[in-house]
């Protein structure tokens, strides 16, 4: 069976079966769905997602039209080690369930995109002799992916220098898939600002902190939002649900400040912004690279292997972003923002540098590798 650029399935040939595993956060789910959509547009395949029970993929994936099975897996608690007894029990149960999923579904390939469920699923696939492909989003690979990478057929990466973590002959630089909707906006910058009720002519800052919010960034804005407004800077401030009350209170009475827990139209938010402030998750960085947006990155300190700092440094070392540590942010973030956003020449230079790092059509390139592996298996 040869799979390539067709969705046809002549005769009674068995359709390729593909497992995509991972999730836990939007940063893992959006790329996984992008890969699935690109694969479905290329070949007639049965696609099954494997995620973590009670995480957002258990609703987002069915909403996108795919089947998903949940594992009772959870992340390790690095602050309260005694709590990891239950985590180990869940891991054992997840390994057992993963073996059954592999046995019942009989996949031709298992794809891991990161997240809690990815480890048990791909480990079970590898033990069963099923070829695996890893999608490593970050510039610093985690322990699980480093272990899985030794037996994976291919590892799709977004950064140079990943041979530090994986066998060089298995690495393919594809970039990270991004949400296609971000590229669909037909609005001008002025129209995008007007859609948020802002002055279309004024300098605009976008602050994003994810669905839950980034506490340090939010508290920095809470302290400095008045100063930003006094300097003629409009702000679109996405607080996340955990800061939903304090944000509006801090911005009360300020003109040109939009405070919202969530932003549904991210393409317009990005289009409206002269500068972005956010965490340094791999998915967000890939979006900013493709859109060419200058950014101040405040890496989260609460992530495995401090990978967000490594992601941010990969940009700041090339002059493509400004890095402010979480510990420094409350004192430095607002003043650094005011200085940078008024320097149009520097913003233009940063935009050019971050655009150079963009890798387009990442989902299509990953699917190229998937199809090669399936063909080699037949």
Provide the residue range defining the domain that includes 341: 181-356
- Residue 326: the pLDDT is 95
d(CA 14, CA 187): 45
Tokens representing 361?
Answer: 């059509």
- Residue 94: the pLDDT is 86
- Residue 59: the pLDDT is 86
pLDDT at 259 over 80: yes
- The CATH number of the domain holding residue 43 is 3.40.50.2000
Per the CB < 8 A criterion, the answer to whether 114 and 28 are in contact is: yes
- Residue 201: the pLDDT is 97
Please check whether residues 162 and 196 belong to one and the same domain: no
Please check whether residues 338 and 368 belong to one and the same domain: no
- Residue 362: the pLDDT is 95
Interval 363-373: pLDDT, tens:
999 999 999 99
The residue written with tokens 């949940």 in the block is 70
User: What's the sign of the alpha-carbon dihedral 68, 69, 72, 75?
Assistant: negative
User: What's the sign of the alpha-carbon dihedral 165, 289, 179, 248?
Assistant: positive
Please check whether residues 75 and 199 belong to one and the same domain: no
The residue written with tokens 């690109």 in the block is 38
Please check whether residues 253 and 294 belong to one and the same domain: yes
pLDDT at 78 over 80: no
Mean pLDDT of the chain: 90
Please check whether residues 59 and 144 belong to one and the same domain: yes
Please check whether residues 271 and 294 belong to one and the same domain: yes
Please check whether residues 155 and 213 belong to one and the same domain: no
The residue written with tokens 């046809």 in the block is 8
User: What's the sign of the alpha-carbon dihedral 42, 44, 45, 46?
Assistant: positive
Whether the full predicted model's pTM is greater than 0.95, yes or no, is no
Please check whether residues 170 and 301 belong to one and the same domain: no
Please check whether residues 230 and 171 belong to one and the same domain: no
- DSSP assignment, residue 133? E
Q: What angle do CA 193, 273, 285 make, to 5 degrees?
A: 140
Q: How many domains does the chain have?
A: 2
d(CA 275, CA 377): 47
Residue 6 lies in a domain: no
User: What's the sign of the alpha-carbon dihedral 79, 81, 86, 91?
Assistant: positive
pLDDT grade for 243, boundaries at 50, 70 and 90:
confident
pLDDT at 8 over 60: no
Residue 9 lies in a domain: no
CA distances from residue 302 to 91, 196, 280, 306 in whole angstroms, order as listed = 21, 32, 12, 7
């Amino acid at each position: 069976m040869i799979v390539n650029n067709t969705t046809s399935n002549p005769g009674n040939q068995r359709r390729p079966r593909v497992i995509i595993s991972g999730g836990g956060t939007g940063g893992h789910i959006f790329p996984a769905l992008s890969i699935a959509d690109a694969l479905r547009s290329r070949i007639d395949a049965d696609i099954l997602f494997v995620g973590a029970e009670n995480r957002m993929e258990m609703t987002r994936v069915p909403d996108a039209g795919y089947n998903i099975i949940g594992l009772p897996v959870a992340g390790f608690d690095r602050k309260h080690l005694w709590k990891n007894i239950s985590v180990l029990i869940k891991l054992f149960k997840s390994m057992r369930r993963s073996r059954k999923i592999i046995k019942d579904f009989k996949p031709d390939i298992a794809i891991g995109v990161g997240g809690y469920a990815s480890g048990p699923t791909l480990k079970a696939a590898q033990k069963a002799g099923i070829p695996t492909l890893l999608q490593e989003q970050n510039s610093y690979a985690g322990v699980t992916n480093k272990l899985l990478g030794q037996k994976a057929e291919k590892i799709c990466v977004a950064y140079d220098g990943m041979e530090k973590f994986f066998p060089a002959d298995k690495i393919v630089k594809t970039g990270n898939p991004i949400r296609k909707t971000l590229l669909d906006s037909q609005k001008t910058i002025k129209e995008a600002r007007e859609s948020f009720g802002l002055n279309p002519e004024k300098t605009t800052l976008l602050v994003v902190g994810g669905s839950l919010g980034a506490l340090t960034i939010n508290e920095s804005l809470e302290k400095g939002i008045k100063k930003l407004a006094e300097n003629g800077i409009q702000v679109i401030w996405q607080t996340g649900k955990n800061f939903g009350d304090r944000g509006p209170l801090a911005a009360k009475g300020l003109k040109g400040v939009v405070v919202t827990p969530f932003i549904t139209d991210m393409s317009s938010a990005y289009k409206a912004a002269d500068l972005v402030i956010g965490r340094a998750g791999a998915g967000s960085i890939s979006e900013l690279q493709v859109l060419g947006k200058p950014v101040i990155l405040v890496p989260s300190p609460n992530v495995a292997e401090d990978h967000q700092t490594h992601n941010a440094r990969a940009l700041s070392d090339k002059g493509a972003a400004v890095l402010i540590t979480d510990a420094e942010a409350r004192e430095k973030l607002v003043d650094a923002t005011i200085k940078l956003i008024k320097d149009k020449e520097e913003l233009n230079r940063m935009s050019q540098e971050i655009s150079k790092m963009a890798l387009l059509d990442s989902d299509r390139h990953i699917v190229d590798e998937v199809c090669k592996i399936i063909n080699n298996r037949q």
